[in-house]
Structure 1
Amino acid sequence: MPGPLAGIRVLEMGQLIAGPFCGQLLADFGAEVVKIEPPKAGDAMRQWGRTDAEGRPLWWPVIARGKKSLTLDLRKPEAQGVVRELAAKTDILVENFRVGRMEEWGLGYDALKAINPALIMVRVTGFGQTGPYADRAGFASVCEAMGGLRYIAGYPDRPPVRAGISIGDTLAGQSGFQGALLALHHRQRTGEGQMVDASIFEAVLSVMESVVSEYDGGGHVRERSGSFLPGIAPSNAYPTGDGETVIIGANQDSLFRRLSQAMGRPELAEDERFANHRARGRNQSECDAVVAEWTAKHTAHEIVDLLAEAGVPAGLTYKAPDMLDDPHFQARQSITRVEDPQIGPIAMQNVFPKLSASPGGIERTGPELGEHTDAVLGGWLGYDDAKIADLRAAHVV
């Protein structure tokens, strides 16, 4: 079944994570995504991350899944001309070069809009297309810090930590994807394309909850608190009798009542220290200590099963093998295996979110460099073999 974006043509330009993750999401839901890469080295993501025993990268098959690879040396005027021809037939162009690079090549939004007024151009950068920091290089690590995430991540007696993944990049990619869908809806009503300005620092800022408002309205600066949120109790990581860690979230009054009953201590729900949300927040350390004393007497699986029956949110801290083995992940096909021509079947997260009438799908893993150059230039632009051969001889493709 074709995905909801079937028939939508996408040009993906740029490299690494933020822009390509936006392209991955578009491909997941059926768009024809053509990724433009430098002819010799290709996207740097072909080399990033861990490899299998044969030295083959394991991230590339995921972030480039469903895409076609077209090689073009964008420094050459001939290649820039090819992009203009492609843009005339494109619905969405995604790029994540530094601000001004596309304009240097004559491929800025105004230039391409003149060719194709219906074009949607998604521009993913560290700091956005405007403002005094627009020209700065902006990797996710820096933008996560400036967006406020790094300061509150970790423990108060230690320096800030990172999440362990490039969360700023993926948030920006999701923002670009969201903006593209909104722009498509606008175009459906008006016929007009537009530019989507998706910055990494603002993508991070957008998920910072009430951090800014807490300071502006009350002078409070949220600090690092480790595995819990101040004033939210019990909601923490607790030790178990078998040396594991279990996450319990019972910070609503009704949930704490159920937790107290499951612990065999129903009187805790009436204790003035824990009787309501604010009281538990004021006595957070005491509340967590009571819960931890109970969890330490049971195995992690015993706790999770008991609390599931009691209707209290609880879970284990999963690693990759736990996800692969979990029957719920399997029932929902949250992880799928896709055949890769080089690696063989490789597990990866499935398309998400799940749509009931027009679900997405993964057509292929990441392509070989330039695998679809001839097909795209011939199919999209009508180039014959001789013209493509000339471009290859001139090292344009």
Structure 2
Amino acid sequence: MIGRPALPERTPRPDGAPTALDGLLVVDFTRVVAGPACTQTLADFGAEVIKIENPEGGDDTRAYEHAEIGGESAAFLSLNRGKRGITLDLAVPEARAVARELMTKADVVVENFSSGVMVKFGLDYESVAPTNPRLIYCSISAYGRKGPFAARPGFDPITQAESGFMSLNGFPDGPAVRTGPPIVDIATGMAACNAILLALIARDRLGRGQHVEVALFDMAMSMTGFYGMAYLINGNNPGRFGNSPNGSPTVGVYEASDGPLYMACANDRLFRRLVIEVLDRPDLLTNPDFIDRKARAANKEKLRATIASVFATDRLENWMAKMKKANVPVGYLRTVEQGFNAPEARERHRLSRIPHPTAGTVPNIEPPLSLGMTPAVDAVAAPLLGQHTREVLRRTLGYDDARLAALAEAGVFGKQVSSTGFGPRGQ
């Protein structure tokens, strides 16, 4: 048992360094994974992101059960860093009026409600764009906002299954397997962020905003990559190949005498290095069964068994040293625990801890993007439910105490909030 890594305090960004998205106001109606992943990246690089949640429980991920700290779930904390959280009950007309007022001031709106919800509330692009023609309005959905499938609900594993993506994952003699992490959700969030940034660049040239869309199904299909393209070219339905693409015997998992490694030795040059400098089996180079890639693929089981028998004769660290010296691509096959305690994670400063109002501090996984002149902002933990309601409406919309009290009395912030206060969560 390795145990959890020690989490240092996050190193502050350089004093006076600009941010990439300074002054950008984002109104965020998203929840679960794809939408929050998108808006978290915008927040990481300086945008002011106002996350609007239903006061009755908020974002669904607040109740996810992976782990919790300070009353907040790991899922919510991992997807909502840097945002300012407010609650609005959009079933209340006055709450919808507040939302529209925020949208008139926004540069970007992001939503991933079920189809028709924003239209029902009068918060769709066509309804709000006339009062804010420079608005970038991003819709994230499973099957798009138009066409016969727009009303279908959909989730990451469903689109993995329906697009063909899932059929590529797993071993040839087993069933299709979804990815562990919700990779289509995460990739869709990244694509939505790209779409927003592209639209912002276009706005600078053209002077007006636009509606952009990203759909999980479209993303899942695009992620079949060159396997999908190969099918379109040759008509052969690609199958599952486990850890070895196209059945390559020199790519995949091998077992040393005391643990596994993953090798990616995918061309003739690397194969030569492997058999001569690492395995000390130069005879494999001249064996007609393994003379080139086509021959190795045709005799993959025989070659894999030969390589496996050699790897089993020595310890993992000895093989790793030999392969690194020979510059053969190889890696440890780590668990999450091992990966998060690895020197790569430590030396690249991937993990830290940041302040949190109820937990004291919470773990933080650093953004995977690095901008030299405009680094990520100093990390702020995901908000408590409704934590910044009063502050945001005061500062952004100029509401005074009387206006806030009247809205609370009308139920705009939820049933638990009345004119006498803004609840235990700092609203």
TM bucket by the smaller chain? over 0.9
Q: CA deviation at 1:340?
A: 2.4
- Do the aligned partners of 1:231 and 1:282 also contact (CA within 8 Å) in 2? no
Question: Deviation string for 1:150-180 (max 9, x for gaps)?
Answer: 1121122222111111112111111111111
- Do the aligned partners of 2:94 and 2:410 also contact (CA within 8 Å) in 1? no
Q: Which runs of 5+ in 2 are unaligned?
A: 1-16, 414-427
**Cα distance in structure 1, aligned partners of 2:192 and 2:106:** 17
**Cα distance in structure 2, aligned partners of 1:273 and 1:353:** 45
1:253 to 268, 277, 299: 268
1:286 aligns with 2:282: no
For residue 67 of structure 2, what is the aligned residue in structure 1? 51
1:11 to 13, 27, 32: 27
**Cα distance in structure 2, aligned partners of 1:302 and 1:344:** 43
1:335 to 326, 329, 351: 351
TM-score when normalising by structure 2: 0.88
**Cα distance in structure 2, aligned partners of 1:135 and 1:143:** 14
- Do the aligned partners of 2:50 and 2:85 also contact (CA within 8 Å) in 1? yes
Q: CA deviation at 1:54?
A: 6.9
**Cα distance in structure 1, aligned partners of 2:43 and 2:307:** 45
For residue 303 of structure 1, what is the aligned residue in structure 2? 319
Q: CA deviation at 1:125?
A: 0.4
Deviates more, 1:84-93 or 1:350-359: 350-359
For residue 134 of structure 1, what is the aligned residue in structure 2? 150
For residue 268 of structure 1, what is the aligned residue in structure 2? 284
Residue 246 of structure 1 aligns to which amino acid in structure 2? L
3-state SS of paired residue (1:230): helix
3-state SS of paired residue (1:184): helix
**Cα distance in structure 1, aligned partners of 2:377 and 2:315:** 39
For residue 168 of structure 2, what is the aligned residue in structure 1? 152
1:27 to 22, 30, 43: 43
TM-score when normalising by structure 1: 0.95
Residue 249 of structure 1 aligns to which amino acid in structure 2? A
3-state SS of paired residue (2:189): helix
Residue 205 of structure 2 aligns to which amino acid in structure 1? R
1:191 to 186, 207, 228: 207
1:383 aligns with 2:399: yes
Structure with the greater relative contact order (CA < 8 A, sep ≥ 6): 1 or 2? 2
1:370 aligns with 2:389: no
Deviates more, 1:132-141 or 1:260-269: 260-269
Q: CA deviation at 1:52?
A: 4.1
Q: CA deviation at 1:375?
A: 1.2
2:57 to 37, 41, 52: 41
Q: CA deviation at 1:359?
A: 1.6
**Cα distance in structure 1, aligned partners of 2:243 and 2:131:** 52
For residue 217 of structure 2, what is the aligned residue in structure 1? 201
- Do the aligned partners of 1:351 and 1:362 also contact (CA within 8 Å) in 2? no
1:347 to 356, 363, 373: 363
For residue 420 of structure 2, what is the aligned residue in structure 1? none
Residue 365 of structure 1 aligns to which amino acid in structure 2? A
3-state SS of paired residue (2:73): coil
Corresponding residue pairs, total: 396
Report the aligned-residue RMSD.
1.7
**Cα distance in structure 2, aligned partners of 1:386 and 1:288:** 75
Deviates more, 1:293-302 or 1:131-140: 293-302
Q: CA deviation at 1:324?
A: 2.8
Question: Deviation string for 1:276-310 (max 9, x for gaps)?
Answer: 33332222222322221122122223222221111
Report the CA distance shift for 1:225/1:185 in structure 2 as closer, same or farther (over 3 A).
same
